[in-house]
Amino acid sequence: MGKLADGILDLLFEPRCAFCRKRLRPGESGMCSNCADTLPFRRPPLIEPCTFVDVMCAPLPYKDDEVREALLRYKFGGKTVYSRLFGRLIAESVRECLTGKYDLISWVPLSEKRLRERGYDQAMLLALAAALELDDVAVETLRKNRNTAPQSGTESADERRANISGAYEVIDSELVRGKRILLIDDIITTGSTLSECARTLMLAGAEGVVCAAVAH
């Protein structure tokens, strides 16, 4: 279904499930009860951590068609309204796996160029939504100092690491020194981006880094 048709359906029939796009029933929020029951949620949502990251969690598998399409609509299709649902899913995973393991919530930032093109930072919206669910706040700790090729366009883990190496800097070392940071992103693939962000934070004095995303 094209973007125009999606937009017309949204105007006529909102709210709709972020995954299957069916109209939500009263009492449903962001996701229909059928998707809540049938999507392949990880139990528990722990995934293999990457270098410099102590614990990582993501409740959904990116290989699932409905999960992938929902995240692509969110990331590239302007469906920022999905951030509330996705933030809630991240918060549930954080409560289950990361309680007591972090002092500060932050996110993996976009470059200024990518932010201008997209109009919003999808990871920041997720961090804000998740923090709200956790009765906390999300704080900007990193800046992406150069634009990089999309990680999805690189073929190997070595290429991904080289592509992202040195691309981030800490905004305020005093803010992260001695702190355990929870980094939030939308999708984890190889973990190269999160690893580089965690390395940058650790060099600035962070005690440790844990990560959470919607899907892996």
Is residue 77 domain-shared with residue 107, that is, in the same domain? yes
**Which pLDDT tens digit goes with each residue over 8-32?**
555 555 799 999 999 999 999 999 9
Q: Could you give the percent of the chain with pLDDT greater than 70?
A: 87
Q: pLDDT averaged over the chain?
A: 91
Q: Are residues 44 and 100 in the same domain?
A: yes
Identify the pLDDT of residue 12.
54
Same domain, 81 and 168: yes
Q: Which residue has the higher pLDDT, 159 or 192?
A: 192
Is residue 43 domain-shared with residue 145, that is, in the same domain? yes
Q: Is the bond leading into 49 cis (omega within 30 degrees of zero)?
A: no
7 and 44, same structural domain?
no
pLDDT for 47-76, tens place per residue?
999 999 999 999 999 999 999 999 999 999
Residue 72 shares a structural domain with residue 165 = yes
Do residues 113 and 168 both lie within one domain? yes
**Mean pLDDT (whole number) for 198-203:** 97
**Cβ contact 94:134 at 8 Å:** yes
Are residue 124 and residue 202 in the same domain, yes or no? Answer: yes
Within 8 A by CB and 6+ apart from 35, the residues are 17, 19, 20, 66
Full domain range(s) for residue 126? 39-215
Same domain, 104 and 209: yes
pLDDT mean over 3-12: 52
How many whole angstroms separate alpha carbon 198 and alpha carbon 195? Answer: 5
Give the three-state DSSP class for 69.
helix
Confidence of residue 4 (pLDDT cuts 50, 70, 90): low
Residue 1 has pLDDT above 50, yes or no: no
Helix axes 82-97, 65-76, angle to 10 degrees: 120
Same domain, 136 and 33: no
CATH number, domain containing residue 138: 3.40.50
Q: CA dist 105 to 4, 90, 192, 209, Å?
A: 36, 12, 20, 10
Q: How many CB atoms lie within 10 A of CB 70?
A: 27
Strands 46-47 and 104-107: unpaired
The CA–CA distances, whole Å, from 23 to 1, 47, 73, 133 equal 15, 32, 17, 24
Q: How many domains does the chain have?
A: 2
Same domain, 32 and 64: no
d(CA 130, CA 145): 25
33 and 47, same domain (yes or no): no
